[in-house]
Structure 1
């Protein structure tokens, strides 16, 4: 029988490139199944590839807890935040990607994010040329409610300042993600109601379960 002891303190640090596989395994369990616009759909490999590709920028964070298994100390991932740079041509870039990807799950998701980027207009709104954008934030189900998501964003704010980013942004597809952004003082700069977001035939594109009703974009100066 394996004996496991958990040490209570949780450390947050930048994700190492060598940890990509472990991070993806974590997201497949603790993020993608709960992502409102992904529920009931097959996970798109392009979505995963994009998220993991952001790690190379050195702006993605991992929350780990030390654990001792049969006397051997190791780290357990309890939270992940994936972020990367974006620039003033982001909306144009996203629309082109959406056209290229077509009606795939990832292409459909990219298109609503393109509309959010265009409508929020953060680069003109805040008069900046680049921003640090949060793409993914996930916490181990058994560790939720302990403020790990808040700690990850606070750490990202510090990292963004160190790297001279003037702004951080996030597109929140989940009701719970919006509450997290509001807790850390981010400003809501755009709202898309899912029932108002229609395809070319006038049909609602996304029908996530309650309480997920909106895609909200948040921003904060650093």
Structure 2
């Protein structure tokens, strides 16, 4: 099965026959090799943005509970794409590339968030004519605002790991964990005193707990109601809430 099943025309023109060869190449090198030896994790350049968005359509938007429930993760979605590029443009994100074919197999879309950002997102949501997209951005604003982390951590800017994605065939190999750890290092190196993950899936929450992040807030999906007093987000029963985890890399951990 192909690892990347969808490309835009410009990617097909740019990669040519290399795309057909990458699956066999990667498979040949994976046997007996650890994840850390197979991939490199780097900051993306602007020329990577289109490929990142395409990979996210294949590996993130179709599976992420909130986007999937609202049915807004199908290509093309210009509003969603522009939001991802906006966050990428901050220069804090990371991608994982296969060493042998250079294809992107995962990534962490990271950004700095200020106390007024939820209000900005709410105002932007009000300008959207598509109801489902409006609900998506309103829920994102609600998640960002609810824990009140700026006051709790006494900081004006928090490092957010906004979106975490790994191609289906590359999952369960520790790559998501490595992306979070490398993102925490990136945030610390850039001077952030608080790193945040809003885990919308049980699997992401489990990774955050495993690497020692602290659970500070939880929003059950059933508690976020629309004007009709029904839950706006009703994902698969295995996904019950968004959990906010933090770590403070510049402060020593209590023993």
Q: Tell me the equivalent position of 1:57.
A: 90
Name the structure 2 match of 1:79. 106
Which one of 68, 77, 84 corresponds to residue 39 of structure 1?
Answer: 68
Aligned to 1:70: none
How many pairs were matched up? 216
Greater fraction of residues in strand: 1
2:57 aligned to which of 1, 5, 28: 28
SS of residue paired to 2:247: strand
Aligned-pair CA distance for 1:38: 2.1
Q: State the 1:103 CA deviation.
A: 5.3
**Distance between the aligned counterparts of 2:145 and 2:54, measured in 1?**
32
Q: After superposition, give the CA deviation of every residue in 1:41-97 in whole Å (9 maximum; x if it has no partner).
A: 132431222112222211110111122xxxxxx312221110111112123223222
Over 6 Å off, 4+ runs = none
Quick check: 1:113–1:171 contact (8 Å CA) kept in 2?
no
Taking the aligned partners of 1:18 and 1:117, their CA distance within structure 2 comes to: 29
Deviation at 1:19, TM superposition (A): 0.5
* Number of the residue aligned with 2:40: 11
1:21, CA displacement in angstroms? 1.1
TM-score (norm 2): 0.79
Q: Is the Cα–Cα contact under 8 Å of residues 72 and 133 in structure 2 kept in the other structure?
A: no
- The alignment's TM-score, normalised by the length of structure 1, stands at 0.89
Query: Aligned partners of 1:101 and 1:124: how far apart in 2?
Result: 30
Matched, 1:169 2:199: no
Larger RCO: 1 or 2 (CA < 8 Å, sep 6+): 1
Secondary structure in 2 matching 1:210: coil
The equivalent of 1:191 in structure 2 is 218
Q: Give the corresponding residue for 2:246.
A: 219
Unaligned runs of 5+ residues in structure 1 are 68-73
